[in-house]
Amino acid sequence: MRPSSQPAARRPLRPLLSATALLAALSGLALGACSDPGGGGGGADTIAADTGADIFVPQDTGIPLDTLAPNDTLAPNDTLAPTDTETPSDTVVPADTETPSDTVAPSDTETPSDTVAPADTETPSDTVAPSDTVAPTDTVAPADTAVGDTGPSDTVGGGDTVTPTCGTLTLTGELAQYEDYPVYELYGDFGLGDPSVPDYASIELYDSPTGVDLDLGSTENLQYHDCTECLLVFADYTTGATGPSAIYFQTGGTLRIDPATPPGGADLTVTLTDVTLGETDVDFETFLSTPVAGGACYALTSPTTLATPPPEPCAELDVSDAELTYQGSGTYAAAGDYGFGSPGVDDVLSIELYTSDTGSFDLGSADNLNYQTCAQCVFLYGDYDGTNAAATMFQTGGELYVDAATPPGSNFITATLTDLTVAEVTIDDLTAESTLVPGGACGGFDGTVDVSSPACAGSCGAHVCGDDGCGGTCGDGCATGTCTLGGACTPTPTCLQVSIGGDDLFMADAYFYGVDITAAGAAGVDFTDVLQLEFYSAATGNNIALATGANANYETCNQCVRAFVDVDGGGPLRQFFQSAGTMSLAAGSNVELGPVTIGFTGLRLVEVTVDDSFVSTPVPGGACIDVTVTSPLTAGP
């Protein structure tokens, strides 16, 4: 039953604790997220083309304060740009020109006539041979020699990448989603480090489109902190203090996501092409990545497709044996092995109806697709052990039909389900909002299935007149006189006699108590009858009048005694309310939580109707009940 945001109001108690135990257990079912694992990216050095002479500058700040470092040589006709700093042991050859914002790393040697464009960064130990030209967007990795040699006149064209000889990376196995994040993990021997220790790969996808080749070598994707498509590989992955032997991050290649498996769900299929990875240091507090100078690199030598395992097929449900029984508060349920999970373990089909409407209802309508807003709500609790279910599944489609002859709230209902589909959800205990579980269980069936309540069978016993509990009558009725609530013909109206006492009283809820009076034989003899006590005041004392003042009507009573006859029958529910007598509520009684000690003197209840405003009105010629208390009623913890 959905939690209500409305304050408690006068309401009929759910008739029997046994009738609501299942619902109470079911309403507590919920499944259960974690912190974001992070995201981020990295890249190599970039040398772009220029039309000027050789240029090497770290960190320009202005004209004065140019610095020539110790042991550096400035050849004739060389020019130092504003505030450039030459690093020790660098050599600037004749006719070279230093331009602002270029950087020359320690121990690099620039040869005459080389062209390095402004804002490029030379990585330590790289060598650019005489007359070589490095075109825009080319990348020279640490310790590499341009185009793989040191000879003159080599040309690296625009967009080319020069990397050292890389090892072969082999990614195999099935991806698994990390919790409910767009992060997918892979374990296995990928050809890195110790073959006896598994490696680990992580693919992270943040708002990534599907069906297109995504560039892992883009500026954004070369830094782990910034990447939207991120591939990290951990060699010799362990969870202990030693950690992995090395971390590798993407330096190039493409990634394509299958449109059928967008990121964020439990299912994912990706294809990696021409992917290269370089050894990288990653700060997992800032998520910044830094390439390791002279570190190893690996490459996928052929397109590689990785995928999560195919989802388990949805269970083929069979609810043809389901017969709904009323649980109170518009809820109907049936238990049986309906085809989910373990054979022989009962599942529970539950239908909650929050309006009195009848007819056909679309379970896949916008409102009905969430438990928080549904008016007609269908659940399937898979493998329910009486306390918990292996999966709580809620409607995702189908149709429910409720016959007009048995509107919601009837003890017996005529209903069918057609083409029902359900999927696993979690339910928020406070808001009742339902959320689909990614990759969760699911089930359904095709066609129309009758899930009506079993037919109501009248119960008369020795009664010769009156209700049979199913809307029919017992015997031939009375030729003369009147029929009592106990099914007997008498010359004059006679009240049903009920005797109670001691621990017959049970606490049903805060401020609500009950006594089972079925044994008195009112109307349908095998259907349940209940005496109900409701308290809207905590006052105690003796001789509290039940038939005068505020207590004379259910709308205003502070101490209220009601009775319900045939609460689980198929006929109209008959209600009774106090019309005479007094109540004694012993000092120290706690009507909210118990314990209580209660006595009655001269208690009589008469048949009434109660409208939507809780006003009670005696039924002309209706039946009555006299209650005798043999000993004080007690209940509570």
* Each residue's pLDDT tens digit, 144-154: 444 433 333 33
Cα distance between residue 349 and residue 394, in whole Å = 10
* Interacting residues of 14 by C-beta distance below 8 A, sequence separation 6+: 20, 327, 328, 329, 508
- Summarize pLDDT for 158-211 with one digit per residue, the tens: 444 444 589 999 999 999 999 889 999 999 999 998 888 999 999 999 999 999
- Run of H or E including 274: strand 269-283
Range 26-50 burial, b when 16+ CB lie within 10 A, else e = bbebeeeeeeeebbbbbbbbbbbbb
Residue 43, phi then psi, degrees to nearest 5: -160, 170
Would you say residue 55 has pLDDT above 70?
no
User: Sign of the CA dihedral 277, 278, 279, 280?
Assistant: negative
Q: Rounded distance, CA 538 to CA 547, Å?
A: 18
Q: Do 413 and 379 form a contact (C-beta atoms < 8 A)?
A: no
Question: HSE (CB half, 13 Å, CA atoms) of 545?
Answer: 7
Listing DSSP states for 123-166 in one string gives PTT-BB-TT-EE-TTEEE-TT-BGGGS--TT-EE-TT-EE----
Burial class (CB in 10 A: 0-12, 13-18, 19+), 629: buried
Question: How confident is the model at residue 177, as a pLDDT?
Answer: 93
- State which of 6-20, 110-124, 340-354 shows the largest mean pLDDT: 340-354
pLDDT at 420 over 70: yes
Interatomic CA distance for residues 215 and 193, integer angstroms: 27
For residues 32 and 53, is the Cβ–Cβ distance under 8 A? no
Q: Is the per-residue pLDDT at 417 higher than 70?
A: yes
SS (H, E, C) 37-92: CCCCECCCCEECCCCCCCCCCCCCCCCCCCECCCCCEECCCCECCCCCECCCCCEE
Sorting pLDDT into bands at 50, 70 and 90, what band is 51?
A: very low
Task: Please report the pLDDT score of residue 239 as a whole number.
Answer: 67
Amino acid sitting at position 457:
A
What tens digit of pLDDT does each residue of 512-549 get?
Answer: 999 999 999 998 888 999 999 999 999 999 999 999 99
- Report the pLDDT value the prediction gives residue 30, as an integer from 0 to 100: 33
Residue pair 537/590 in contact (Cβ under 8 Å)? The answer is: no
| 145 half-sphere exposure, CB direction, 13 A CA radius | 8
Decide: 591 and 564 in contact? Cβ < 8 Å. no
- Return the pLDDT at 241: 59
Is it the case that residue 9 has pLDDT exceeding 50?
no
222: pLDDT strictly greater than 60: yes
Mean pLDDT score of the chain: 80
Instruction: Write the CB contacts of 304 (distance below 8 Å, at least 6 apart in sequence).
Output: 171, 271, 272, 273, 275
Confidence of residue 91 (pLDDT cuts 50, 70, 90): very low
Q: How far apart are CA 577 and CA 213, in angstroms?
A: 75
Q: Which long-range contacts (CB under 8 A, 24 or more apart) does 91-97 make?
A: 92/54, 92/56, 93/54, 95/53, 96/53, 96/54, 96/55, 96/56, 97/52, 97/53, 97/54, 97/55
Q: What is the pLDDT of residues 297-310, one digit of tens each?
A: 999 999 999 999 98
CB 102 within 8 A of CB 58: yes
Nearest to 233 by CA among 198, 268, 273, 269: 198
Q: What is the pLDDT of residues 256-311, one digit of tens each?
A: 999 999 999 889 999 999 999 999 999 999 999 999 999 999 999 999 999 999 87
How confident is the model at residue 142, as a pLDDT?
45
Give percent of the chain with pLDDT exceeding 70.
74
CB atoms within 10 A of CB 103: 20
Token pair 């995201």: residue: 39
95: left (phi over 0), alpha (psi -120 to 50) or beta: left
Higher pLDDT, 68 or 630: 630
Would you place residue 25 in the very low, low, confident or very high pLDDT band (cuts 50, 70, 90)?
very low
Cα angle value 276/278/283 (rounded, 5°): 130
* Contact (CB, 8 A) for 501 and 633: yes
What is the pLDDT, as a whole number, of residue 389? 95
pLDDT of res. 455: 86
> How far apart are alpha carbons 595 and 3 in whole angstroms?
27
When pLDDT is averaged across residues 359-384 and rounded to a whole number, the result is: 97
Render pLDDT for 456-498 as a digit per residue (tens, 0 to 9). 889 999 999 999 988 889 999 999 999 999 999 999 989 999 9
